[in-house]
Structure 1
Amino acid sequence: MKIALSGAGLRSAMVLNTLLEIMPEAELVGYFDPQPTFLDKLPEMPRYPSVREMLAETQPDLFFVGSPNEFHLAQIREGLEAGVPRIFTEKPVVVSIAETMELAALLAKHGPERVMVGLVLRYSQHMVDLRTALAEGVLGDVVSLEANEHIGPYHGAFFMRDWRRKTGHSGGFMLEKCCHDLDLYNMITGSRPSRVASFGGRKSFVPANAPASNEEAEIFHVKKSVWESTDDPFRSDGDIIDWQTALLSYETGASLAFHTNLNVPDEHRRFCVMGTHGMAEGDFVRGFLKITRRNGTRHADHDYTKGPRAGQGHHYGADHLMCEDLAAFLREETDALPVSITDALVAGVAALALDTARETGQVVDLAPIWADFDGQGAR
């Protein structure tokens, strides 16, 4: 299994090292990155001056796209047109509605099954267990949901210093960070959002809130920024939000209230799913999932902070679970993964529509977007 890499960043190193541990038969045969910064965390491999030359010379079985978001579309296109059998792209896949349609058309032409995506939370034990309960009908029909993703000041400052602070590079915070969450709630409702509304802005990472002491300032530089970075998260040239609330109405009639904030000292990433026959409540950070039937009896009470998988890797252990599934898929031991490239594009559209709603102050009807998307032919 020959793997070629574009974008030798920290995330690429984390995923690839885990995958190589699980798949000892795999090898990295080359990389493209005009400004590599984490090569010390990857096995030694040759560097190529372009993606095209790398793919032509190495003839990989898998092309790993780990570059900044704005480069994904062009590099995925090169992989598809070069005939690479499998492409893995990090999320979010593309940065605009126009790019979404362009990629959907490419996938219809070349085959969506050739592209895998790193929406890692679909692989988490939380979602494995919740999918089982949903399939068993424990919750009945999903009626309403509430959820959040709240990240600590050290992580929020990273976004305000990193290339992700600029919507042109990242697509915006809701897309870059919360596409995971939006994908999960599409999965849970079994449908796409039909209308969305949103409010948000930037109130924490502004000059008036800059730290008064060096000791406090250290918090905001814990997580290293590399490409296109800036030093001061409170006076940066970024245009992303640091808080946002969202309302989503789904094609099934279910609704979601979602909240994200980048300056929360006690992090959590909670969700609560209310159905006609029960409810499920969980928190990725605190490591639990409780499922309760409508008569008050407990169907499941999972504590993921204990057991053999506790503390296994990043994303609440989901990175390792994802790589196990990827290895099985690449070895052709299974013919499907828990999340598809189409799922990722749908989650991306939801995130982009939420930012449109926030910017315009209007409820956004997604029906015309879905009609265009479906018309591209990708499934």
Structure 2
Amino acid sequence: MTDLRIGVIGLGLRGNLAAVAHRPGHGSRVTAVAELDPVLRQEGARRFDAKPYADHREMLGDIDAVLLLTPDDTHADLACEILRAGVPAFVEKPLDITLDRCDQILRTARDSGTRLYVGHNMRHMPVVRLMREIIQRGDIGAVKSVWVRHFVGHGGDFYFKDWHAQRSRVTGLLLQKAAHDLDVVHWLAGGYTRRVQAFGDLMVYGPLPRRAPGTAKPDDWFAPAANWPPLSQTGLNPEVDVEDVSVMNMVLDNGVIGAYQQCHFTPDYWRNYTVIGDAGRLENFGNGPGGAVKVWNARRSGYREDADAVHEIPAADGGHGGADPRILAEFFRFVRHGGPTETSPVAARMSVAAGIQATASLRNGGAPMEVPELDPGLVTYFESGQAAQRP
């Protein structure tokens, strides 16, 4: 099997996916890197023995697929250029930061007939797949409610020291960070959010010391031992105007009721899901090996730690609990052969839509907001597997 020639656009925090994609002799090889930062660009070229480009458009004729790993607010413009050039695109989540821009990407993919894939890698995480298997097996009956608590223990480092801290670049962290979990809620519950209501605030990081405009993050920007407690953080982004704590309620189109809570100044970093059905409930304790998903479904009782079933979370190699190599393997298979995928451009758009409307709600006193539906023609195109491919 000839290696796919992979072009990478953006070598920032998610640029580590390029290393996962680079498997010479095993199906994929990074042959081109495009990055505005000349230092990162040359480092990437040396690391992968790839051709460096300052202008991504110059490489599109010499590659088989693109990994688009740039900041969220750049996705639509870049993705549409890639798709119009006929190059299959992996777009890192979230799809973009406005609904108009998300829908523009989907329309361009359909109109060009070029394959589009969105990097919602949590659908490939063992803990999420285990919860979905339990639900699909019927162990808790029909899903009626999903609750998520997201403890973002390194939030001050990862989300308040660069562009993630700016509304103009991300809309809000109920979109940027929560898009993963909103997609999982939809996947586990079997529906999409139609109505949201949320509250949130910038409670801790707002008054903390910030860098001067135009200055780079310090080399020790991620130092968990030194940056605790959260009020000791320094060197924050010059502009900080996103919320560091938020709570969101949602009603799905199938009647399921959900809740999502996100906090960026907790001491621990993990996600806790509770899924309640009409015949039991499940809850995960930990997100990886050593953790478990517990199920209570045999009888009523008071509090009891001894669940009726305990399912250990499987071990898997690779970043994000083994999700990164698996999502890229699926993307490369999709590039070569098409067919169904676990991820979905429609689902990616709907997670953005829920996050945008929840952000609007929390910035308008918690007013309930309706989530706009997607053009039915686009839904049909993507749910049919993007079958109308360009020759």
Range into which the TM-score falls when normalised by the shorter chain? 0.7 to 0.9
1:263 maps to amino acid: F
Task: Show the counterpart of 1:251.
Answer: 253
- What's the secondary structure of 2:320's corresponding residue? coil
Q: Return the alpha-carbon distance in structure 2 between the equivalents of residues 187 and 265 of structure 1.
A: 28
Task: Show the counterpart of 1:161.
Answer: 161
| Cα 1:37–1:288 shift into 2, 3 Å | farther
Deviations 1:84-140 (A, max 9, x none): 1x211101111112212322322332347x111111111011122222222222222
Q: Return the alpha-carbon distance in structure 2 between the equivalents of residues 20 and 261 of structure 1.
A: 35
| TM-score (ref. length: structure 1) | 0.84
Task: Show the counterpart of 1:87.
Answer: 89
Task: Show the counterpart of 2:354.
Answer: 350
Task: Show the counterpart of 2:173.
Answer: 173
Task: Show the counterpart of 1:226.
Answer: none
Alignment partner for residue 302 of structure 1, among 301, 308, 311?
311
CA positional deviation for 1:142: 0.8
Contact 1:55 1:82 in 2 (8 A): yes
Task: Show the counterpart of 1:207.
Answer: 207
> Which deviates more from structure 2 when the two are superposed, residues 97-106 or residues 185-194?
97-106
Deviations 1:229-283 (A, max 9, x none): xx94557412111000000011111111211000001223100000011211114
Q: Return the alpha-carbon distance in structure 1 between the equivalents of residues 326 and 110 of structure 2.
A: 29
Task: Show the counterpart of 1:188.
Answer: 188
Task: Show the counterpart of 1:130.
Answer: 131
Task: Show the counterpart of 2:60.
Answer: 55
Alignment partner for residue 277 of structure 2, among 259, 275, 278?
275
Contact 1:63 1:87 in 2 (8 A): yes
| Cα 1:320–1:30 shift into 2, 3 Å | closer
Contact 2:201 2:243 in 1 (8 A): yes
1:182 maps to amino acid: L
CA RMSD of superposed structures (Å)? 2.8
Q: Return the alpha-carbon distance in structure 2 between the equivalents of residues 298 and 80 of structure 1.
A: 49
Task: Show the counterpart of 1:198.
Answer: 198
Alignment partner for residue 374 of structure 1, among 356, 366, 376?
376
> Which deviates more from structure 2 when the two are superposed, residues 197-206 or residues 314-323?
314-323
Task: Show the counterpart of 2:370.
Answer: 365
Q: Return the alpha-carbon distance in structure 2 between the equivalents of residues 37 and 288 of structure 1.
A: 42
Does residue 29 (structure 1) correspond to residue 34 (structure 2)? The answer is no
Deviations 1:165-200 (A, max 9, x none): 112222321111110000000111111111100000
- What's the secondary structure of 2:106's corresponding residue? helix
Does residue 65 (structure 1) correspond to residue 58 (structure 2)? The answer is no
Q: Return the alpha-carbon distance in structure 1 between the equivalents of residues 327 and 151 of structure 2.
A: 23
- Count of aligned pairs between the two proteins: 352
Identity %: 22
Q: Return the alpha-carbon distance in structure 2 between the equivalents of residues 289 and 351 of structure 1.
A: 26
Q: Return the alpha-carbon distance in structure 1 between the equivalents of residues 220 and 309 of structure 2.
A: 38
Q: Return the alpha-carbon distance in structure 1 between the equivalents of residues 24 and 312 of structure 2.
A: 25
- What's the secondary structure of 2:52's corresponding residue? coil
Task: Show the counterpart of 1:242.
Answer: 244
Task: Show the counterpart of 1:335.
Answer: 339
Q: Which segments of 5 or more consecutive residues in structure 2 lack a partner in the other structure?
A: 211-217, 225-232, 301-305, 383-391
